[in-house]
Chain A
Amino acid sequence: MSDELLSVADRVVAMARPGEQVEAVVVRGTDTEIRVYGGEVESLSSAQAQGVGIRVVIDGRQGFAYAGSLDERVIAETLADARDNAGFATFDEFAGLAEPDGVALPQIDLYRSALDSFSAEDKVALAIEMERAVLAADRRISGIESAEYADSISESAVASSTGIRSSGRESNCYVATYALATEGDEVQTGFGFSVGREPSELNPLRAADEAAQRATRMLGAVQPTSGRLTVVLDPWVTAQFLGLIGYTLNGDAVLKGRSLFADRMGEVVASSLLTLVDDPTDTRAFTATDADGEGLAARRNVLIDNGVLKKFVHNAHSARRAGTVSTGNAVRGFKSTPDVGCLAVSLLPGTSDPASMVAGITDGVLVQEVSGLHSGVNPVSGDFSTGAEGIRIRNGELAEPVREFTIASTLQKMLQDVRAVGSDLQFLPMSAAGVTLVVDDLTISGS
């Protein structure tokens, strides 16, 4: 139980010396990961991991240390390391831990005991059911690259000498598969998944169908000719871009001159169709949480409202430096100090259904997968160019599949060029949710 973790954190905090701020984050997780192949279990991993991260601030200097153990002796050493490390940091007038801000933690239920009592056999059965469904979906399905079930129950507690005390527990599970479709010498792949807080919320058959459909519809793909086209982004692709846009609204990046939106507060930065929110209190989000990494209440923040830039996200340190208050956006694991970031970002869904969005396009491409976001997107300059695959759209209809091309623009321009927002909000196994999006005037580079 988390009370036990909180008492571990309390014990660390009690060791604070006069003039010292001490914070401990204590986590424990039980994870299961099952991979199946050919109707058999390929691997079943089951483990409990735990750890503690200790932050010490002495006279405006911060030090940190962590250990993957809750052993009392190791904790004492870790505290000593953090304390020693603090002596080498540069003085920072804004250094310091979070302080209670009076915002109550949202009462949200992120833990289901049903996961705890779900047997390993039943988990294996879910994954095998999904694999079987992929293989049966289409005669052109030649196999799978992977089919897995994974779950985790994670508990965490944060306590500090500045009066923070919070703890929580959450459960998560998902099934995911990569299907292989073959025709002649050609192989194509497709991804499908389903997420939930307990296994009964998972839909392995839908995941299987999606993977099979995405793989088979790519068969016969050709390289498209270069040009400027209207692009329809699948929710999965939109979500990956939202993660990058979230970075540009990070208060720490703004303060340090790394955000392309630093001087744009209150200005129109996107199409009026776009409202971007970071809402970790929405329990449907995979990364929903009641508290941020510093133990402050997680909250719903509207970042872009009908195209107008409204808010940057902050943790306690970046907020203090910017002369504002934390938005509850400290992001961390036990191995690092709190960073600043969006916790569960999404667009408010629009009114268009995906089919009619495609029907309205004479010449375009539906992008179902992007690659190289880490190598081809620079969130500081805004330049982006990613590998892509998808289906050409001609006269409102899906036409031939296309691959081996890139889509490129700048993040700034892409936000302005959004022409329609889908109603199909989809929660994904990541910190962003997606909707179908129509974006004008992206450069396609192909043959």
Chain B
Amino acid sequence: MIDASVLERVLGSALRTGGEFAEVFAEDRRSSSALLDDGRVEELTSGRDRGAGIRVVVGDTTGFAHTADLTETGLLAAAEAAAAAARGGGGGVRTVALTRSASSRGYDIELAPTDVPKARKVALLTQADEIARSVDGAIRQVSVNYGDSLRKILVANSDGLFAEDETVRTFFAVSCVASGDTGMQTGRESIGHTIGFELFDRYDIDELARRAAGRAITKLAARPAPSGQMPVVIGSGGGGVLFHEACGHGLEADLVTKGASVFAGRVGQRVASAGVTVVDDGTMAREWGNIAIDDEGNPAQRNVLIEDGILTDYMWDQLRARKQGRASSGNGRRQSYQHLPMVRMTNTYLLAGTEEPEAIIASTDKGVYVKHLGGGQVNTATGDFVFGMTEAYLIENGEVTEPLREGNLIGNGPEVLQRIDALGNDFAMGPPGTCGKDGQGVPVGDGVPTLRVSSLTIGGTAA
């Protein structure tokens, strides 16, 4: 994208006001999306974003500027603005010599979405629409989204790091509205992987559309969810967001070092039930949160956060790791070149246990079975978090019975982790997610086996 010699001059210029660390992050992102709604392909969109963000660090201060102008003149102007924002005391000339490092994600993209005719993408939309509508006459509305992106990034910094990477992601989602005597209900299914158009060889679009429609239909017969506390069984694959919220955010070093996490100061301590091992793994091939390098140029890693219930480590970005004199864990990510990186998750998951999922439900006298979770939110300082249930059922006498209407569940991270009393042998990754933090969204994955929390607060309206 940019010559090494130009980058070296830009970094040198960024350090002229006394900066200790400077970095150029350049990005060239092309995306295409298509939307079908109300039976019509409403539009195709093509997008292009290209630019560079430059940061300069002096002491505890970071100066940042970005530009859409990738010429040397444009980059130098941004470097000057970033340096002025950071303003060190010293000055002088520092030269930077870059060493290119190889990055690899260990697999190839089979069919680049840019090589696929638009008509073929559009055909997927109409196919999913027809299948979803054919499921039941109660399906009144369907929308279908297709999206792909090719993101090229380049990172060069004053430590001499010079890394480049290309990431291809492909996404597809079906949303249905069903209408009945009890009003309207919705059902949604999505798939997304860090791969190309071969996504559609791996998944059956018809099956996806049927599941989305089925979810909306099922909920037409749903009764209000209970209120109060009871055991909750989370279904395999559908419920990884639980760990993303219950402990993932609280293990991000930027929040930990500010005392804004209940997990601060607890490394080496028991924070979860025995048998609970939580991992954040950017290297997971083809998953939605997969990265070869993070947005600070560090290689993706598999990081064990909690091992057999004991907190082993937090997640780190370059800046926070530097201060602690340790290496980044490859978790420095950003939404685009217009944003500063911060500590973010990649693919966060809970390792499988040994129990049969059926046995976990059968041994639950009265509770809630959450087959599919929506999003969630956490206050990392208190540990209180919520997550939505988009498909849930009552468990009565060890059997899954009536469907429940939507709602949130609420719990406290450290308490919930200690209340996990059953882990299934059926691990699966869940649907693609977008994690929001300080206004920046990044793609993340999650996964869980079937598991049970002995007590959680269900946010329903029934007694």
A contacts, CB < 8 Å to B: 37-38, 40-50, 62-69, 74, 77-78, 81-82, 84-86, 88-90, 92, 120, 142-146, 178, 180, 187-189, 223, 226, 255-258, 260, 335-337, 371-372, 374-376, 378, 380-387, 389, 403-409, 443-447
For B61, the chain A residues whose CB sits under 8 A away are 40-44
Q: Which chain A residues lie closer than 8 Å to B388 at the CB level?
A: 372, 374-376
Q: Residue B65 contacts which of A45, A142, A180, A335 (CB distance < 8 angstroms)?
A: A45
- Contact between A64 and B45 (Cβ–Cβ < 8 Å)? yes
Is B459 an interface residue when CB atoms closer than 8 A count as contact? Answer: yes
Query: Which of B200-208, B379-387, B424-432 faces chain A?
Result: B379-387
Nearest B-chain residue to A371, judged by Cβ: B377
CB distance B44 to A63 under 8 Å? yes
Instruction: Kindly identify which residue among A47, A89, A145, A374 contacts B41, using a CB–CB cutoff of 8 Å.
Output: A89
CA distance A84 to B338 in the complex (A): 29
* Residue of chain A at shortest CB distance from B259: A143
- How many angstroms from the CA of A62 to the CA of B40 in the assembled complex? 11
Residue numbers in A under 8 Å from B227 (CB-CB) = 226, 406, 408, 443-445
B contact set with A: CB distance below 8 Å: 34, 36-51, 59-68, 81, 85-86, 118-119, 122, 140-141, 177, 179, 183-186, 219, 225, 227-229, 255, 258-260, 262, 338, 340, 373-379, 381-382, 384-388, 405-412, 438, 457-461, 463
Do A375 and B376 have beta carbons less than 8 Å apart? yes
Question: Which of A90, A260, A386, A406 sits near B457, CB closer than 8 Å?
Answer: A406
Task: Provide the main secondary structure of the chain A interface.
Answer: strand
Query: 10 additional contacts, CB 8 Å, given A189-B379, A385-B408?
Result: A37-B60, A41-B61, A47-B64, A64-B44, A66-B46, A89-B44, A180-B259, A257-B184, A381-B405, A403-B384
A44–B63 touching, CB < 8 Å? yes
CB closest residue in chain A, given B264: A187
B410 with A404: CB separation less than 8 A: yes
Residue from the set A144, A376, A380, A407 with the largest chain B CB neighbour count within 10 Å: A376
Q: Name which residue of chain B comes closest to A47, CB basis.
A: B66
A-B pairs with the 9 shortest C-beta distances?
A375-B388, A406-B459, A385-B407, A376-B408, A445-B227, A372-B386, A387-B386, A85-B44, A385-B459
Bound CA span A66–B122, Å: 19
Contacts of A41 in B (CB 8 A): 61
**Complex partner residue of B260 from A49, A145, A405, CB under 8 angstroms:** A145
User: Is A223's CB under 8 angstroms from B457's CB?
Assistant: yes
Q: A375-B376, A376-B407 are in contact. Are A180 and B46 (CB under 8 A)?
A: no
Q: Would you give the shortest CB distance from A213 to chain B, in whole angstroms? A: 16
In angstroms, Cα B67 to Cα A403, docked, is 44
A48 to chain B, nearest CB (A): 8
CB of A417 to closest CB in B, whole Å: 13
- Count contacts between A and B, CB distance < 8 Å: 258
11 A–B contacts, CB within 8 A, in A order: A45-B85, A180-B259, A337-B43, A372-B387, A372-B388, A374-B374, A375-B375, A376-B459, A404-B410, A408-B461, A445-B228
Which residues of A have CB within 8 Å of B460?
Answer: 385, 408, 443, 445
Q: Are B48 and A256 interface neighbours, CB within 8 A?
A: no
B382 and A40 form a contact (CB under 8 A): no
Does A120 lie within 8 Å of B66, measured CB to CB? no
Q: Point out the residues of chain B lying under 8 angstroms from A64, CB to CB.
A: 43-46
A386 touches B37 (CB 8 A): no
A257 touches B179 (CB 8 A): yes
**Interfacial chain B residues near A77, Cβ < 8 Å:** 48
The answer to whether A46 and B386 have CB atoms under 8 Å apart is no
Contact, CB under 8 Å: A46 / B407: no
Q: Is the CB of B68 within 8 A of A81?
A: no
Main secondary structure of the interface of B (DSSP, over half): strand
Could you tell me the distance between the alpha carbons of A409 and B408 in the complex, rounded to whole angstroms? 12
**With the chains together, A47 CA to B81 CA distance in Å?**
9
Q: Which chain B residues border A67 with CB–CB below 8 Å?
A: 47-49
Name the contact of B459 in the complex, choosing from A81, A142, A188, A408 (C-beta under 8 A): A408
Closest to B36 in A: A90
- A404 close to B412 (CB less than 8 A): yes
Residues of chain A contacted by B37 (CB below 8 angstroms): 256
Max count, chain A CB within 10 A of own CB: residue among B59, B62, B68, B387: B68
Chain A residues with CB under 8 A of B458: 445
In chain A, what residue has the closest Cβ to B42?
A89
Which of B66, B227, B405, B411 gathers most chain A CB within 10 Å? Answer: B227
> What's the Cα separation between A386 and B86 when bound, in Å?
41
Query: Would A443 and B85 count as touching, CB distance under 8 A?
Result: no
Chain A residues, Cβ within 8 Å of B459: 376, 385-387, 406-408, 445
Name the residue of chain A whose CB is nearest to the CB of B220: A381
* With A47-B338, A223-B457, A371-B377 as contacts: A42 and B48 at CB distance below 8 Å: no
Closest B-chain residue to A406, C-beta based? Answer: B459
Q: Which residue of B lies closest to A91 (CB)?
A: B40
**Do A66 and B384 contact each other (CB < 8 Å), given the known contacts A89-B42, A226-B227, A404-B410?**
no
Given known contacts A258-B141, A382-B183, A446-B228, is B387 in contact with A375 (CB within 8 Å)?
Answer: yes
Contact of B382 among A62, A86, A187, A381 (CB under 8 A): A187
Q: Which of A86, A372, A378, A443 contacts B186 (CB 8 A)?
A: A378
B406: chain A residues within 8 A (beta carbon): 376, 378, 381, 383, 385
Interface centre among A48, A69, A82, A408 (most CB of B within 10 A): A408
> B85, A88: Cβ atoms under 8 Å?
no
Asked if A88 contacts B412 (CB within 8 A), the reply is no
Contact B255 A145 (CB under 8 A): yes
Given known A88-B118, A405-B410, contact A187–B59 (CB-CB < 8 A): no
Asked if A85 meets B68 with Cβ closer than 8 Å, knowing A40-B61, A337-B45, A447-B229, the reply is no
Q: How far is A263 from B168 in the complex, measured between Cα atoms in Å?
A: 44
A386 contacts which chain B residues (CB < 8 A)?
A: 386, 408, 459
